[in-house]
Amino acid sequence: MMMSVKASVFLLVLYFTSPISGLEVKSDPEVSGGFVHTELEKTVSLTCLSEPQEAELVWLRNGQLISIAEGNTWGSSRLCVTPVTHVDHAAIFTCQMKNNASVNASVQLEVTYAPLHSGKEEVSVEQTRELELSCDVFANPPVLVLWQQHGDPIDLSEGGFLLTNDGCTSRLKVGRVDRAVHQGPYSCVTSSPVYPNRTKSFEVTVTDKTLQFQTDLIFPMIAGLVVIGCTTLLAIISRWRWITQCCK
């Protein structure tokens, strides 16, 4: 009797711990360790296969339900991501049973892309003004950035240079331009473990400083002079009338 009870318990545990159904997501390009590696402008095709085949399926992107066509939900379901964009990087696509969300399978997109900077830019700046050069460095994997002047790496401890990088744009700034120090060719060079090096060139020309009127100060001054002039004119007219009346 005891053996019969133990056997029944074992069979019950086996029933509830054995997979009675499951899902599998296949991809083109192929899934590797749960990731799908792709590039910008490419197409990723995902296929969800269910067991049993009569199960109804749904797709989610980062936890949000995706609308798919009727007839593309039973037993197997296909989903295409095209063209792949920056926002698809790290996106998680999940296929799950509609009536049992605990039965699911997911893949994550790994999108690689190079920074877009290239070409040459002519920059003109007045003496003693502020200079700012910018270079696109938005990339995956992240790139190393090197700024050069006259072909040599820029020494940030000299020349009043300030370098910032927010992961999207690298900026080289000078608060007060000096022609003897800052005029000439510059370049922004990015190096990637995946893509070839890219370079953007700048030719900085420092011009003589020109006199610029500050309109935000001039207009109030003009308005003040007009008020003073009108007040003086009214005072003269009033005084003239008084003199005229006295002489009658």
Model confidence at 178, in pLDDT bands (50, 70, 90)? Answer: very high
As a whole-number percent, the residues of the chain with pLDDT over 90 amount to 72
Q: What is the mean pLDDT of residues 5-32?
A: 58
pLDDT of 25 over the 70 cut: yes
pLDDT at 20: 38
pLDDT at 129: 97
Q: What is the mean pLDDT of residues 222-229?
A: 68
Distance separating alpha carbons of residues 199 and 191, to the nearest angstrom: 9
Of the candidates 116, 111, 142, 117, the one whose C-alpha atom is nearest the C-alpha of residue 42 is 111
pLDDT of 242 over the 70 cut: no
Main-chain dihedrals φ then ψ at residue 193, nearest 5 degrees? -75, -10
As separate numbers, helices (DSSP H) first and strands (DSSP E) second, the chain gives 3, 16
Q: What is the bridge-based pairing of β-strands 198-207 and 131-136?
A: unpaired
3-state DSSP assignment of residue 173:
strand
Contact by Cβ (8 Å): 198, 135: no
pLDDT of 219 over the 80 cut: no
For 105-129, the pLDDT digits (tens) are 999 999 999 999 999 999 999 999 9
In 10 A of CB 100, how many CB atoms?
Answer: 11
Domains of the chain and any CATH numbers? 2-112 (2.60.40.10), 120-207 (2.60.40.10)
pLDDT at 10: 31
pLDDT of 241 over the 70 cut: no
By CB neighbour count within 10 A (0-12 exposed, 13-18 middle, 19+ buried), where does 115 fall?
Answer: buried
For 198-216, the pLDDT digits (tens) are 999 999 999 998 875 555 5
Beta bridge partners of residue 22, listed in sequence order: 51
Distance separating alpha carbons of residues 12 and 7, to the nearest angstrom: 9
Out of 78-82, 96-100, 218-222, 237-241, least confident range: 237-241
Task: Give the tokens for residue 32.
Answer: 């590797």
pLDDT at 236: 64
Prediction pTM value: 0.70
pLDDT at 227: 66
Task: Give the tokens for residue 142.
Answer: 């992240």
For 48-95, the pLDDT digits (tens) are 999 877 889 999 999 999 999 989 999 999 999 999 999 999 999 999
Average pLDDT, the chain: 85
Compare 5 and 195 and report the one with higher pLDDT: 195
pLDDT at 230: 65
Residue linked to tokens 């002519």: 122
pLDDT of 160 over the 70 cut: yes
